């Protein structure tokens, strides 16, 4: 009595336990890191981002002060004797931009500044613009030389003081960024030290689980490979046995039953010759002989369908032509056949499987696709025979058990002859079955 192969203990419990440990370790690690990173992100947002924005505004202020300095230099070095008031519009534009920059800078300034430090820049700018207003007032009153003197005596000195103040603030911001970077680095170092220890424990747990998983997978894949090999061997034996059985049935129908029907027809013909021409019995014998001949034709057709003897006699290509010529009558599908490439002599062991794939594909078209048309294409080159069966029907429907079994059988047949088979969807919808079979050895090509 055959015994069922013993299978090892299921690794499910061990894998589940290892998975729980791993997930717990990862969750704890993630929670810890999230807390540390959240604190670090808050520190960077509060200091680094504010320093960056503050620096941008200070650079804007510095740029405006440089523009003021250039404008004052142009006023003093004016060789074309433009009036001082000609620069009033430029000063006004710079004043408005400085006021906006100063307002934005105060909103993002670091918290470490004292109120006096925060007010100094604004008050200094206010004093500068008051002096500039007095300078332009002198110019409008016609005192051009006094106005220029005011620039040399007061405005340039105030602008230099403001530029120095802004430069110091920029330096202070840079120092603050350096301090922030040091604090962030300290946090990173602390997290790194703690994470290394935590990761070591996690990696040990993962390594143990992975080791167990590898061993379990090897055992499972070994058993699956063994079962797959047995299934493949069984499928090949079933297909081979089926073909052998069909061949025997076909031969019995063609030889034994066919000979009996042929003998019956001959006997009926001879009996009819001994009956008078006007006798009703002669007509009945002729009708019976016609029925016997019709039955003989059906038996021969059935014999060819079960196992076409034409395959051994005329070869695969003539067998395909013969089969397609009767498909419309047999299964109700109009088939258009295309042949390309040189003529090939394909041995019966390969030819029968190609023929069965063609049979199954056209049968699926008739039973499942809903299409009344199909296209069969046979291509042959120096190394490959390619058979395509295409229809524009409903396509392969998942969950159809009989059709699925047919597809599995076709795949097994393709593997038996060392070929491949693909089930595709053509551009117009439906199904395209493409079988590729290597030819060579006992197969030959004729030019």
Whether residue 289 lies inside any domain: the answer is no
Under the banding of pLDDT at 50, 70 and 90, the label for residue 117 is low
What are phi and psi for residue 255, nearest 5 degrees?
-85, -55
Q: Looking at the structure, do residues 201 and 321 belong to the same domain, yes or no? A: no
255 part of a folded domain: no
Q: Across the chain, what does the average pLDDT equal?
A: 78
Rounded mean pLDDT, 317-326: 84
> Distance between CA 189 and CA 183 in Å, rounded?
10
pLDDT of 74-102, one tens digit each?
A: 888 866 677 888 888 888 898 898 888 88
Greater confidence, 244 or 11? 244
Residue at a domain's end among 166, 192, 214: 214
Q: Is residue 4 part of a domain?
A: no
CATH number at residue 402: 3.30.565.10
What's the rounded mean pLDDT across residues 235-251?
71
Q: Which tens digit of pLDDT belongs to each residue from 184-226?
A: 777 777 777 777 777 777 778 777 777 777 887 788 888 888 8
Q: What is the mean pLDDT of residues 101-114?
A: 74
Residue 446 — very low, low, confident or very high, per pLDDT cuts 50/70/90? Answer: very low
For the chain, the domain total comes to 2
Q: Are 193 and 322 in the same domain?
A: no
Predicted structure pTM score: 0.47
Mean pLDDT of 362-369: 86
Which structural domain range is residue 371 located in?
314-446
If asked whether residues 204 and 334 sit together in one domain, one would say no
Instruction: Please report whether residue 34 resides in a domain.
Output: yes
User: What per-residue confidence (pLDDT) applies to 434?
Assistant: 93
Last-in-domain residue among 150, 184, 214: 214
**Last residue of some domain: 153, 187, 214?**
214
Residue 430 makes CB contacts below 8 A (sequence gap 6+) with 369, 371, 390, 391, 392, 393, 394, 395
């Amino acid at each position: 009595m055959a015994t069922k192969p013993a299978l090892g203990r299921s690794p499910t419990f061990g894998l589940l336990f290892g998975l729980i440990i791993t997930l717990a370790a990862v969750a704890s690690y993630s929670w810890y890191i999230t807390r540390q990173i959240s604190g670090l992100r808050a520190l960077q947002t509060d200091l680094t981002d504010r320093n960056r924005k503050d620096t941008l505004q200070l650079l804007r202020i510095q740029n405006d002060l440089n523009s003021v300095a250039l404008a004052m230099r142009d006023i003093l070095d004016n060789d074309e004797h433009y009036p001082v008031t000609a620069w009033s519009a430029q000063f006004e534009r710079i004043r408005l931009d400085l006021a906006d920059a100063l307002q934005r800078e105060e909103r993002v300034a670091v918290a470490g500044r004292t109120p006096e430090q925060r007010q100094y820049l604004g008050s200094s700018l206010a004093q500068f613009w008051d002096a500039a207003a007095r300078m332009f007032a002198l110019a409008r009153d016609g005192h051009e030389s006094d106005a220029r003197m005011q620039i040399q005596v007061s405005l340039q000195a105030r602008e230099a003081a403001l530029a120095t103040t802004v430069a110091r603030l920029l330096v202070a911001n840079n120092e603050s960024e350096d301090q922030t970077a040091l604090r962030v680095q300290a946090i990173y170092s602390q997290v790194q030290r703690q994470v290394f220890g935590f990761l070591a424990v996690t990696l040990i747990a993962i390594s143990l689980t992975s080791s167990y998983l590898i061993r379990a997978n090897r055992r499972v894949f070994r058993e699956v490979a063994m079962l797959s090999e047995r299934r493949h061997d069984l499928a090949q034996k079933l297909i081979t046995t089926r073909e052998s059985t069909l061949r025997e049935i076909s031969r019995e129908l063609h030889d034994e039953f066919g000979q009996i029907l042929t003998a019956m027809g001959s006997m009926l013909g001879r009996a009819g010759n001994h009956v008078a021409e006007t006798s009703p019995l002669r007509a009945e014998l002729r009708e019976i002989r016609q029925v016997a001949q019709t039955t003989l034709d059906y038996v021969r057709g059935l014999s060819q369908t079960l196992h076409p003897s034409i395959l051994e006699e005329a070869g695969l290509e003539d067998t395909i032509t013969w089969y397609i010529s009767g498909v419309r009558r047999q299964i109700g599908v109009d088939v258009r056949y295309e042949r390309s490439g040189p003529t090939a002599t394909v041995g019966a062991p390969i030819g029968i499987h190609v023929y069965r794939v063609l049979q199954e594909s056209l049968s699926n078209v008739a039973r499942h696709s809903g299409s009344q048309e199909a296209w069969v294409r046979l291509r042959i080159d120096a190394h490959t025979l390619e058979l395509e069966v295409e229809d524009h029907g409903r396509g392969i429907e998942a969950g159809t058990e009989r059709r699925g079994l047919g597809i599995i059988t076709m795949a097994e047949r393709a593997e038996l002859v060392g070929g491949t088979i693909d089930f595709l969807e053509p551009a117009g919808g439906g199904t395209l079955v493409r079988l590729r079979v290597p030819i060579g050895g006992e197969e030959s090509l004729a030019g």
